[in-house]
Amino acid sequence: MATQVASGVDRWHGWLGEPGGLTAEGFRRWVSERLGEAEAAIAALVAVEGGRTLGNTLALYDSAVEMLALAGSQAGVLNSVAADRAVRDQAQAEAQRVAQAATALSLNRAVYDALCALDADEMAAASEATRHYVRRTLLGYRLAGVDRDEPTRRRLAELQERATRLGLEFSRNIQEGGRTVVAENAGELDGLPEDFLARHTPDCDGRFTLTTDQPEMQPVMTFAHSHGLRERMFLAYNTRCYPENRRVLLEVLETRQEIARLLGFRSWADLATADQMMGSAGNVREFLARLEEASREGAEREFALVREFALSRDANAKLDAASRGYWYEQYRRSAYAFDSQSVRPYFPYAQVERGVLATAEKLFQVEFRRAGATGWHEDVSVWEVWDGERAMGRFYLDMHPREGKDKWFSAAPVVVGVGGRVLPEAALICNFPGGAAGDAGLMQYSDVVTYFHEFGHLMHAILGGHTEWAGLSGFATEGDFIEVPSQMLEEFFRDVTLLQSFARHYETGEVLAAETIEAMKRAGAFGRADWVRTQLYYTMLSLDLHDADAEKIDLDEMTRRLYEGLLPWRWIDGNRMYASFGHLMGYSSNYYTYALDKVIALDFFAQFDAADLLGCAAAERYKRSVIEQGGSRPGREMVRDFLGRDEDFEAFREWLNEEFA
């Protein structure tokens, strides 16, 4: 066990465990060592004389990829979670340095020529994963511009460096850009859960200060009766990175557009989809048109019902963007006899964690053991993954808010695994309720779904981290396949037996009643069309921003126009959500991934036996043909392998219309 786990962990502790603890300078040295290893591998590759083989060329290339991924992953994690601002700043600088090295490698014509010259007979006899890796790598080189002239390659390198720097700046502003909202009196907190109220005390003037962090923002937007408080929270949350990120985003869009045009593409959106399952921005638009048509009628019916209900309760009700979550909650209470506050006591954080882990253990036939190792903060728990007597990897759970930490929910690679040599490691970086002494961390059921979602990413990273090559490890699939495993695992939350295995009242131990779960499921189904329309709004914004002339983009006009064209809730002036839309950096124009992968995930889930979700034949087949593949096969092939065909809309349509069936 020690030998197996040590290969990855020693690298992690190479800087985390240095005398005196983690320091900015120590991390800088550690990254320099990894970059030095990558440079040495590339130098050895270029120096090869004679025939090009997998051993003297692809293996050296993959070693460089492994070192860059290792350094980049851990720079990304530290940039998101380090308590020391100096370490976060250093991690951001190191992330930029790693990105520069990766760009230089992607534009290295000698390496490209060497990979093109791999022995044809050896390639023909190689594994399909190896052939896929080479094909994908060569395509990536061409899309990077390696075949352009030297001045163009230099300009592309400059632009990529600028895009990386701007992206890091945009994300850091979100990470550290929280705001506060003041409730003028206790009456403005009416409707909020008792445990929420217990955590907040008034100042000497009787006012309450709230933050825009998720555990405070979400309850306010869902439960607070005061429209004034909801509106102030809405605007604070959606302007928390404005105006600074407005400038950054416009510079990012201009930079990406120039890159695309230098490479011969009409727009960044076409470039960003060229190596994806979707293939082009035009194909994305055709897919989105299908979603728009499929969701339009249901969304109109949903809003009509909620609108009628709201006006019957309050003739002056404001049906605006700050009221959407609140009135959906109130309608569900009335129409389905389900109050989402009523189930919060059954979802204390510690129980939910045990339930998610137990579900994943059964589904993926593995065991999780608490590790003796420490993480980057005392709040982080460390776990090892075992398949019988075989160590599979390690993961870190950093699950509650703290100062300076990233404020969203994500899964991140920590150590890139390689089959038989290095075990994979990954982390969840989340902001769920709890974490403080005496706080049970009562979660909304949507929080529990989010936990399942992120854990799906985590298992993909660990179980898919035993590939033949580092460049195929974990969730190294096409970007528009990467959300399939996470959205698939979300669906397990719908199973009554599974939920009752961990949904118990945190004070009495009472099991959440099956009748309540069924009401929760019915209530949760109401609003799916609205969810799809919201996804379309985010998706169209990400696509249109990257499919238009950057110099002519009016961010406020485009954001408002798309919102009003897709959603019925009145627009609120002053909403600058684009300035904190973090996925514009990671997914750029390709936010459609969530919608496409929802269609695939629902089709996947439909293959499972509802009477035995965790033990049916589909569970083993899914693990083998999708999760364990990592990035070893194209996403389209994995879909066809598991389904025996391409995905279709049937399962999605049934899910979308379940409420009205």
3-state helix/strand/coil string of 326-377: HHHHHHHHHHHCCCHHHHHHHCEHHHHHHHHHHHHHHHHCCEEEECCCCCCC
3-state helix, strand, coil in the chain (%, to 5): 60, 5, 30
Q: Is 344 left (phi over 0), alpha (psi -120 to 50) or beta?
A: alpha
**Within-domain flag for 246:** no
Cα dist from 503 to 187, 256, 297, 445, 510, whole Å: 32, 47, 35, 10, 8
Comparing C-alpha atoms, which of 95, 154, 326, 242 is closest to residue 556? 242
Domain assignment present for 582 = no
Q: Is residue 254 part of a domain?
A: no
**Other CB atoms within 10 A of residue 217 CB:** 21
| 503 and 360 in a common domain | yes
Which 8-state DSSP code applies to residue 306?
H
- 107 is written with which tokens? 């534009």
Say yes or no: 34 and 132 in one domain. yes
Helix (H) or strand (E) holding 182: strand 180-183
Domain boundary residue, one of 237, 266, 281: 237
**Residue 401 contacts residue 169 (beta carbons within 8 Å):** no
If asked whether residues 425 and 516 sit together in one domain, one would say: yes
Cβ-proximal residues to 236 (8 Å cutoff; 6+ apart), any chain: 179, 180, 181, 212
Instruction: State whether residue 180 is helix, strand or coil.
Output: strand
40 located within any domain: yes
Q: Is residue 48 part of a domain?
A: yes
130 and 211 assigned to the same domain: no
Report yes or no on whether pTM surpasses 0.85. yes
DSSP H helices in 117-243: 120-125, 128-144, 150-175, 194-198, 214-223, 227-237
Alpha helix stretches (DSSP H) within 176-280: 194-198, 214-223, 227-237, 244-262, 268-273
Do residues 597 and 507 share a domain?
Answer: yes
- How far is Cα 170 from Cα 386, in angstroms, rounded to an integer? 38
Q: What are phi and psi of 441, to 5 degrees?
A: 70, 55
Write out the two tokens for 189.
């907190």
The per-residue pLDDT for range 514-528, each reduced to its tens digit, is: 999 999 999 999 999
Low-confidence ranges of the chain (pLDDT < 70): 1-20, 659-661
Domain match, 71 and 194 both: no
CATH classification at residue 382: 1.10.1370.40
d(CA 62, CA 469): 7
Q: Are residues 611 and 506 in the same domain?
A: yes
Task: Report yes or no on 93 lying in a domain.
Answer: yes
Instruction: From 237, 254, 274, give the residue that closes a domain.
Output: 237
Question: Number of structural domains, the chain?
Answer: 3
In the block, residue with structure tokens 């105006």: 243
Among the listed residues 287, 275, 2, 294, the one whose alpha carbon sits nearest the alpha carbon of residue 140: 275
Are residues 402 and 505 both part of a single domain?
yes
Q: What residue type is assigned to position 275 of the chain?
A: D
CA distance 33 to 14: 10
Amino acid at 644: G
Dist. CA 452–CA 356, nearest whole Å: 6
**β-pairing, 180-183 with 390-398?**
unpaired
Rounded to 5 degrees, φ, ψ at 448 are -65, -40
Q: Which helix (H) or strand (E) holds 500?
A: helix 496-500
Q: What is the distance, to the nearest Å, from the Cα of residue 569 to the centroid of all Cα atoms in its chain? A: 26
Taking CA atoms, 113 is separated from 46, 52, 57, 155, 295, in Å, by 10, 10, 11, 21, 48
In a domain, 451, yes or no: yes
Torsional sign, CA 622, 623, 624, 627? positive
Residue 599 to residue 234: CA distance in whole angstroms: 30
> Alpha-carbon distance 487 to 415, whole Å?
23
How is residue 335 written in tokens?
């129409």
On whether both 362 and 233 belong to a single domain, the answer is no
Burial of 92 (0-12, 13-18, 19+ CB in 10 A): buried
Tokens for 108, please give them: 């290295």
Residue type, 506: Y
Q: Tokens for 234, please give them.
A: 């809405």
DSSP letters for 591-653: TTHHHHHHHHHHHHHTTS-TTSTTTSHHHHHHHHHTGGGTTSS-HHHHHHHHHSS---SHHHH
Q: Range of 515's domain?
A: 345-528+593-660
Element containing residue 390 per DSSP (H, E): strand 390-398
Both 629 and 486 in one domain: the answer is yes
Report how far residue 213's alpha carbon sits from residue 178's, in angstroms, rounded to the nearest whole number: 7
Yes or no: say if 384 and 391 are a contact pair by the CB < 8 Å rule: yes
Structural domain contains residue 304 = no
CA 560/CA 58 separation, integer angstroms: 49
Per-residue CA distances from 636 to 13, 38, 113, 626, 641 (Å):
38, 31, 28, 11, 9
Residue 618 backbone zone (phi > 0: left; psi -120 to 50: alpha; other: beta) = alpha
User: Amino acid identity of 96?
Assistant: Q
Integer Cα distance of 612 and 362 in angstroms: 11
At residue 211, what are phi and psi to the nearest 5 degrees? -110, 165
Do 478 and 422 belong together in one domain? yes
Place of tokens 């969810």: 531
Cis peptide before 151 (omega within 30 of 0): no
Residue 373 is predicted with a pLDDT of 83
Do both 69 and 200 map to the same domain?
no
* Alpha-carbon gap, residue 561 to 566, rounded angstroms: 9
Q: How do 425-429 and 390-398 pair as beta strands?
A: parallel
> Measuring CA to CA, which residue among 445, 613, 447 is closest to residue 516?
445
Residue that finishes a domain, picked among 144, 166, 198: 144
Cα-to-chain-centroid distance, residue 77: 14
Q: Please answer whether residues 368 and 383 qualify as being in contact, where contact means their C-beta atoms are separated by less than 8 angstroms.
A: yes
